[in-house]
């Protein structure tokens, strides 16, 4: 959600902070600000709206010479988007930025008001700033320690103190924050892309540990203020991966990166033609045999990957599987035994509800497996086992390649379980994997159809609602397709199983209603065509995605797009790309901000 950057070094902190904020735009925000040190004073600039607004304010001031500072992009939770509510928040002795939610801020605020403190904003962050100010006696570490003993909720803080102007302090709990290491300069950031221009070395701050940064050193303290040795990691992402590289938007770049991202993820895990997860430290082959029940947990797009995983494992491995929305699952009393496996899917590895759900099953003694895209993320560190996807940085808020690699991993997991339990032999698995690789290759054919899909999207420039229809595996795909469309084009979209239309939805179908139908599963084609004809007969304008070679009455539909003819089982790998392109081109034609849609954030790190 919010983005944090911090810098101490020998270079111009304003430029570095602003570059960092631009790099974190994808996390979503409604205001931005920085605090920098100049001539032994802390100066703060902040503004509602785009980072460009903040840049304009800074540019109106004289050339600022500063080598230390903190910056922030805010996603409103307490208080409306405004200049006053924007971060940083400052007191007489410090300036602070915050990502997270302080659950007991009202009690703390009332106590501070009774002690004479005054508040000008509506935020919980100003409460944290004043609390640390109240507790401060010249020792930043002790004041921060005392504050977090009082604060309840999630947080990542970056702080500068007016009497310690050569240092930046940082701490986190249930919110992402890294310390990045340079030469005579060090950084704080919410995510890796913000520091790639300067360094690829970083430290993951453990929960409730405090980082003290100077230009030539970083010290990490535990919650008892004892120094700890922190592991230095190296990011395998490049700056080029986090840039548009000539594409108009990150989203279209990431759509086109999908074939490579999928192959980069699965090829290292295919050994002699069969799945192998030894590189993920899953060394015991009995791991794939012990469980009798599976939960797959995710949010948003990751939940749709979980749905496909459920279907694949149940169909091929004959194990009962439940897919669960993380924000609901975490409050349930799930049936968990020592024969249960819980799989958690998250691109960022920081999704707050997914992490909370993971902690729930750990308390119950359940084995956990994480599928994440960020090395060393909170979910990765909390799970018993972790499978990293190699999609590279995904900057656009609407997930594309991260979803595809998650689905690809679910196929490999399915094949591994099936082989381990002797439901299929090696020869059968090798054939399945070859067919899967063919499906991945067909994505390139779909990408070549981008202009054809773009031409159709003109029809959606003025529409207010689109219904998506599918059956079987196609149903999960249209759910993801509808989510993509509503996320970035702001068109109301709903996805329905074809057979459910007559149970209520069909009452909404009138002359001119827009419908997108996916009919690419051979075994239920006739049923799906019957459902589509029901909406056609009521005047709907149908865009049909069918498979090459299918016997389709072309005159019955407004538009038809034929997808590559690959095996039904693997169509989800390819067909989703067509729906992603449909959403992308529609959003562009409607003039929407494709990479940064309103009210959305890339990483949902608050509950």
Q: Which residues have a catalytic role annotated?
A: 2, 602
One-character DSSP codes across 349-407: S--HHHHHHHHHHHHTT-EEEEEESSTT-HHHHHSSEEEE-------SSS-SHHHHHHH
For residue 251, the SS3 value is: helix
CA distance 222 to 205: 10
One-character DSSP codes across 404-471: HHHHHHHHHHHHHHHHHTTSS-HHHHHHHHHHHHHHHHHHHHHHTTHHHHHHHHGGGSS-SEEEEEE-
Residues contacting 183, CB < 8 A, separation 6+ = none
Phi, psi of 230 (to 5 degrees): -105, 140
State the pairing for strand pair 340-346/186-189: unpaired
What does the angle CA 219 – CA 223 – CA 229 come to, to the nearest 5 degrees? 35
Give the HSE-up count for residue 299: Cα atoms under 13 Å, Cβ half-sphere: 27
Q: Tell me the C-alpha to C-alpha distance, in Å, between residue 419 and each of 203, 284, 312, 318.
A: 39, 14, 14, 12
Write out the two tokens for 197.
Answer: 């221009």
**Quick count: other Cβ atoms within 10 Å of Cβ 431?**
12
Residues contacting 105, CB < 8 A, separation 6+ = 78, 124, 127, 128, 153
Judge whether 409 and 389 are in contact, CB under 8 Å: yes
CA distance 584 to 290: 43
Nearest alpha carbon to residue 534 among 554, 563, 495, 507: 507
Distance between first and last Cα of the chain: 11
Judge whether 47 and 83 are in contact, CB under 8 Å: yes
Residues contacting 363, CB < 8 A, separation 6+ = none
Characterize 572-586 residue by residue with b for buried, 16 or more Cβ atoms within 10 angstroms of its Cβ, and e for exposed: bbbbbbbbbbbbbbb
Q: Which residues pair with 388 in a beta bridge?
A: 372
């Amino acid at each position: 959600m919010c983005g944090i950057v911090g810098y101490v070094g020998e270079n111009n902190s304003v430029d570095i902070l602003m570059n960092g904020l631009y790099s974190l735009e994808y996390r979503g925000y409604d205001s931005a600000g920085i605090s920098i040190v100049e001539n032994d004073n802390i100066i703060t600039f902040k503004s509602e709206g785009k980072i460009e607004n903040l840049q304009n304010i800074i540019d109106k001031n004289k050339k600022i010479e500063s080598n230390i500072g903190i910056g922030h992009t805010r996603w409103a939770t307490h208080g409306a988007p405004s200049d006053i509510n924007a971060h940083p928040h400052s007191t007489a002795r410090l300036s602070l930025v915050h990502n997270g939610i302080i659950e007991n801020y009202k009690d703390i605020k009332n106590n501070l008001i009774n002690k004479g403190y005054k508040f000008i904003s509506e935020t919980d962050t100003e409460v944290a700033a004043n609390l640390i100010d109240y507790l401060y006696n010249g020792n930043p570490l002790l004041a921060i320690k005392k504050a977090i003993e009082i604060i309840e909720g999630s947080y990542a803080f970056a702080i500068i103190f007016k009497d310690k102007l050569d240092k930046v302090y940082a701490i986190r709990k249930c919110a992402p924050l890294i310390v990045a290491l340079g030469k005579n300069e060090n950084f704080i950031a919410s995510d890796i892309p913000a520091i790639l221009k300067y360094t690829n070395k970083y430290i993951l701050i453990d929960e409730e540990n405090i980082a003290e940064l100077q230009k030539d050193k970083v010290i990490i303290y535990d919650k008892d203020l004892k120094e700890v040795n922190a592991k230095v990691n190296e990011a395998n992402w490049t700056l080029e991966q986090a840039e548009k590289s000539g594409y108009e938007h990150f989203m279209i770049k990431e759509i086109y990166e999908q074939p490579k991202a999928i192959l980069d993820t699965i090829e290292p895990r295919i050994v002699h033609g069969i799945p192998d997860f030894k590189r993920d430290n899953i060394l015991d082959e009995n791991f794939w045999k012990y469980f009798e029940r599976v939960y797959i947990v995710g949010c948003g797009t990751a939940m749709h990957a979980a749905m496909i995983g459920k279907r694949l494992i149940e169909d091929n491995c004959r194990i009962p599987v439940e897919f669960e929305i993380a924000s609901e699952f975490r409050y349930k009393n799930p049936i968990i035994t020592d024969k249960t496996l819980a799989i958690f899917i998250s691109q960022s590895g920081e999704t707050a509800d997914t992490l909370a759900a993971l902690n729930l099953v750990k308390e119950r003694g359940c084995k956990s497996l994480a599928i994440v895209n960020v090395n060393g993320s909170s979910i990765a560190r909390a799970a018993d086992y972790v499978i990293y996807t190699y999609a590279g940085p995904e900057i656009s808020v609407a997930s594309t390649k991260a979803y595809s690699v998650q689905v690809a991993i679910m196929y490999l997991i399915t094949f591994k379980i099936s082989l381990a339990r002797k439901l299929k032999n090696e020869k059968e698995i090798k054939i399945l994997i070859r067919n899967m690789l063919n499906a991945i290759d067909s994505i390139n054919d779909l990408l070549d159809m981008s202009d054809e899909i773009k031409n159709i999207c003109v029809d959606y420039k003025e529409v207010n609602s689109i219904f998506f229809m599918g059956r079987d595996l196609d149903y999960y795909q249209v759910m993801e397709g509808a989510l993509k469309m509503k996320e970035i084009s702001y068109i109301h979209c709903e996805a329905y199983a074809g057979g459910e239309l007559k149970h209520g939805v069909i009452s909404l179908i009138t002359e001119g209603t827009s419908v997108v139908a996916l009919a690419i599963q051979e075994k239920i084609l006739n049923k799906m065509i019957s459902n589509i004809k029901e909406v056609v007969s009521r005047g709907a304008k149908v865009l049909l995605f069918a498979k090459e070679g299918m016997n389709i009455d072309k005159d019955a539909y407004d538009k038809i797009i034929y997808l590559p003819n690959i095996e039904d089982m693997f169509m989800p790998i390819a067909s989703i790309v067509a729906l992603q392109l449909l959403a992308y081109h529609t959003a562009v034609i409607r003039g929407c901000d494709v990479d940064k849609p309103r009210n959305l954030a890339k990483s949902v790190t608050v509950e």
